[in-house]
Amino acid sequence: MRSKSSSKFSLEKLIESEGIGIEILHPGGLEITKELAELCRINENSYVLDVASGTGETACFLAETFGCRVVGVDYSAYMVKRAREKANAKGLDVEFKVADAHNLPFPANSFDAVISECTTCLLDKERAIREMVRVAKAGGYVGIHDVCWKGDVPEEMKIRLAEIEGEKPETLEGWKILFENAGLADVIAIDRSSLIHEWIEELKKQIGILGQVKIFLKAISKWGFESYRIIREVEKIYQSPYIGYGIIVGRKC
Ligand SMILES: C[S@@+](CC[C@H](N)C(=O)[O-])C[C@H]1O[C@@H](n2cnc3c(N)ncnc32)[C@H](O)[C@@H]1O
């Protein structure tokens, strides 16, 4: 179960079903992943869960950088397959499972750190955060980085982002409150909004003109010409001053 987009087309659907040719599906690259890991006190003794692990880039990076034990879960079988192939190619012992973030297949109090990058805004946020807290050990950390609303956001923009992409961001303060309401202590919220606008430009460069044309063609062949207009609409929302980005971390008592 997730907060579904109601439009037939979304970039998120394209990413989940067949990828768009990029490995890291969040702003800030592996630098923000390292920052999140450090805030969650990840070290060589940690047992870490990456919720919505995508192509497995973060899980492999954590295992390589910190020498910790990592499990990644994602509900897309396509993503889990790619992540397993990546870990195998790198000779890393990282496990990946198909699972829903709202119903994690782990007993309570299992992990020293539970993280999720750029995904919670797609989910039933309260339920997903509750699940992350449930599977974290007492004294362990729960941390995310995610999209935030900023300023006086037009209501229509919120409605369209939810309709198209199924994304329901919070303000940075709103994310902090959700973490506190889930019982987490010492919650910190760090504004990293500059990363999101840089990311859009970086993504375009990484994908290249040919890659962008391929994405449009894929979208048009699957969902028709309307999808071109919708991609542009989402791009405009993401380039607006109302979109920010933040890191939120709390400790389970
Ligand atoms: C924007 S991508 C982020 C991937 C990865 N965390 C990263 O930063 O590169 C969102 C990911 O969430 C996964 N996802 C969406 N809904 C999910 C759910 N209910 N449970 C688990 N994974 C989910 C998608 O398959 C996709 O891999």
Give 120 Cα–ligand 1 centroid separation in angstroms: 8
DSSP string, 149-180: E-SS--HHHHHHHHHHH----EEHHHHHHHHH
Classify residue 195: in a domain, yes or no.
yes
Classify residue 2: in a domain, yes or no.
no
* Spatial separation of the C-alpha atoms in residues 191 and 34, rounded to whole Å: 16
Classify residue 5: in a domain, yes or no.
no
Classify residue 4: in a domain, yes or no.
no
Is ligand 1 within 6 A of the CB of residue 16? yes
Instruction: Report the pLDDT value the prediction gives residue 1, as an integer from 0 to 100.
Output: 44
Query: What's the CATH number where 235 sits?
Result: 3.40.50.150
Is ligand 1 within 6 A of the CB of residue 54? yes
Is ligand 1 within 6 A of the CB of residue 24? yes
Is ligand 1 within 6 A of the CB of residue 74? yes
| pTM across the whole model | 0.94
- Rg over CA atoms, the chain: 17
Instruction: Report the pLDDT value the prediction gives residue 158, as an integer from 0 to 100.
Output: 98
Distances (CA, A) of 97 to 2, 17, 69, 82, 141: 17, 16, 14, 11, 21
Give 14 Cα–ligand 1 centroid separation in angstroms: 12
* Spatial separation of the C-alpha atoms in residues 33 and 56, rounded to whole Å: 12
Closest residue by CA, ligand 1 atom 14: 52
Backbone angles phi, psi at 171, to 5 degrees: -75, 165
Classify residue 175: in a domain, yes or no.
yes
Query: Locate tokens 């890191």: which residue?
Result: 247
* Spatial separation of the C-alpha atoms in residues 122 and 124, rounded to whole Å: 7
Is ligand 1 within 6 A of the CB of residue 122? yes
Full pLDDT tens readout for the chain, 253 residues: 445 566 666 778 777 777 777 899 999 999 999 999 999 999 999 999 999 999 999 999 999 999 999 999 999 999 999 999 999 999 999 999 999 999 999 999 999 999 999 999 999 999 999 999 999 999 999 999 999 999 999 999 999 999 999 999 999 999 999 999 999 999 999 999 999 989 988 888 888 888 888 888 888 887 888 888 888 899 999 999 999 999 999 999 9
Classify residue 227: in a domain, yes or no.
yes
Total tally of structural domains belonging to the chain? 1
Is ligand 1 within 6 A of the CB of residue 111? no
Give 155 Cα–ligand 1 centroid separation in angstroms: 25
**In sequence order, what are the residues at sequence separation of 6 or more whose Cβ sits closer than 8 angstroms to the Cβ of residue 125?**
3, 168, 170, 178
For 241, the domain range is: 11-252
